[in-house]
Structure 1
């Protein structure tokens, strides 16, 4: 058995390779266990006492994209999945031992199953290969040959969560906009002259907002299934940020709060998809405003260094640790169900389609800053004039 590394959460001990190999042999040869796992069409894997993978079925190997089961044997679940939290746990003992792991529902399910027999909960993983996974995670303790193991099953629930999001967020928003259009249209015949013109402008603005909401939803669907094709144009970074601030200033999130651009912001040409970048920046600015108390100020800025253009959004609100570790998780939100795609979509569009990176810092005295950075001239671009 290896020496015990330090841990910030779950036990860090591991069995050595020979012990894990013997455990895998025991599980594979246990009566009906391997056959039952192979008959199931969802990913299933078996963990030993120290949460190391000793056996799994074909759907599990397909999910993590490996052909050789031996390459996974002895890894913990997050290490096999490529969970981003494992990167944060490297100084300690791997999956389950970092501070980010304290909020991982999958680890909690395994630990609870070890103690009480079984556990089931929804889990969201952010993976290093750039995508996210949402699953119903079921863990069950079993005794195989006198040794305790935990059998874990994953059921993909992304489609049902998308359906929930459509019902609670997207449809709610477009119905509100459509209702405003209907109300204004019904009132229009009662007015003439300047008042009628004001109502016409209101209807036009609401129609533009409605079309934009529908386009945003379509973009996220395409981004999720990999069919999104960015169209690259050249923009001026500071002018683009100024236009985003103007857009958000008219949004209800900005009421009773100040939104300013840092006076020392820098300007540069940036080759990017204007529509995708606008969705990233508007999401981050809206989130900062919504997280701020009335009277607070949100500051946006743009900087240029070594061929990269950086946009940042700062407010004085601090993100709690238990929230910070899940801030980019798909469907995770502190604002209720159906509201958890803002930071997730910003990360997805930035990393997968705009060739950039996204990060944030949050400290009690300094507040919270979200930063997105993009190469000013991407190596490969689908350019439009």
Structure 2
């Protein structure tokens, strides 16, 4: 058993590290874009089909839980075979789900399309797999930066696709809009070809770190490590908040008298400001305590949401809230993935971050589903909004005891190597 395996000198030919990073960022942008604009389709789809928001909310909940459940498996495949086939397969599933969603005329078909196919597509084509690929490409001192730039690229997708999706709906109707978004996902397999030759079986100037203990033993070690369990627990809150806001903020704002256009731009602003937030988080994660970054992120999310709820809903308050939440939006990802890499190395990063992300998506499932159910029963989102505030404070507390050091179980395995 060895503690680090040299992986290949460099990807051959045109597949330089710069090209791989650019293609990976484009994939993250494409994958996060249509998903972040799903809330724009609640109104048109439910009006056309005569369904309540709980039906759409359940489809989004299925999407989120399958995105999370598929994450560890997609990550393990990427760890073993490289990101290229996983990203390509995810892109094709994603495109198929958007296309089927455009013609879904039964609730079952909607849940299959928007829930199952898009959820599994996201598991294979989202920034988690891109991050795992980048971690094998860059040296340790630049790893947090690469995680930040991949996350920032996903946020740029939200900024671009939210107003684009609204423009497609206004110009061509919601069904054609979904087909156009689905067509964009067909670019993912093409971009994924840049990652061919960057799997664990290949060589690189960057070493794969962490003991070679096997997938089952790596999982066992991870879940016996208290700091990893705390990290996984706190990530649940991030998923709850992001999925609830992404799906239910647009209808919440329009019900409060905000125009659909500004509601779409609120999502876009979250994405725009998170480009800066995620990138800054990645840079800071290489220079200061990642645990402290996470504690501060969740605390200020709770404060920002509480202030937004206590003030009247106006265009100005919407813009300010979107900007503040954007800075904090996916800024949890670089320090979270960075802590997983610090604790266990990069050998099983795709899989172990996948388990953390599964917790994130369990939170997303509950947040998006609960929002739809409680709205249908009470006519209000207030309970879920305030629950989000309470969970933010809980997450800040949970992250505080995390130890920023390699897991003792990993150190013992390396000593036995």
| Greater radius of gyration (CA) | 1
Q: TM-score, normalised by structure 1?
A: 0.25
Q: TM-score, normalised by structure 2?
A: 0.24
Task: Name which structure has the greater RCO, CA cutoff 8 Å, separation 6+.
Answer: 2
Structure having the larger proportion of residues in strand? 1
Structure with greater helix share of residues: 2
